[in-house]
Amino acid sequence: MRRYLPFVIVAIVALATVGTGFALYRAKRLTAPNAPKNSAASGTHVRGKAEALVTIEEFGDFQCPPCGIMSGVLRKIEEKEGDRVRLIYHHFPLAVHAHAREAALAAEAADRQGRFWEMHDLLYREQAIWSKAPDVPNLFNSYAGMIGLDLDRFKKDLQNPEVAERVDGDQKLGTSRGVTSTPTLFVNTVALPPAAINPPGLNKAVETALKEKSKP
């Protein structure tokens, strides 16, 4: 028995090591974010073709100044790259911005009449005005008229629970993907680090993604 004792001890140590390693691995799996079952980017508000090489997803807040700047950057990228890039917009109104949720609802109400992107662009373009206005609802009504919406229908849709649900759904999606601030950007489902969320960083990320997708 003594002859086999060293081998028994080695076997016990080995089993303990394997068991500890598995436990650590399992713990990491439990604490790490779950990968989405479908890695393809999708959303309600899409501008661009489904077969585009690069998809940029934005979680944005209409009252967020950096989002306003980023909207212009994204527009230039869309114009430059054409059909090679598409944009998906998700709502993520922050509580710190008093009128952000109202603006998101206005964009969703506009979507009911097929004018989401027109309202999206107008809200960002006029952000400095409406974000400080004393009567935001009336100003949003005027924007609805500017983009050719049926005003009575727009007002009713603002009160529609389904409109609010779509905003809330986007926000829940963002939270599930680790979004805590705006703008948060994903390029082909890969989150850009905060340090790269600026015009040079985004342009570089898009260029890199295009090169990767263009490889034979």
The pLDDT value given to residue 41: 64
18 pLDDT higher than 80: no
- pLDDT band per the 50, 70, 90 thresholds, residue 43: confident
Instruction: Return mean pLDDT, the chain.
Output: 85
User: Per-residue pLDDT averaged across 86-114, rounded?
Assistant: 98
**Helical pair 65-81 and 199-214, crossing angle rounded to 10 deg:** 30
* Residue 4: exposure state from Cβ atoms within 10 A (0-12, 13-18, ≥19): exposed
The pLDDT value given to residue 40: 60
The pLDDT value given to residue 14: 39
The pLDDT value given to residue 213: 85
25 pLDDT higher than 50: no
C-alpha 5: how far from its chain's center? 60
d(CA 7, CA 22): 23
**Helical pair 116-125 and 100-111, crossing angle rounded to 10 deg:** 150
User: Per-residue pLDDT averaged across 168-185, rounded?
Assistant: 97
- pLDDT band per the 50, 70, 90 thresholds, residue 32: very low
The pLDDT value given to residue 166: 97
The pLDDT value given to residue 115: 98
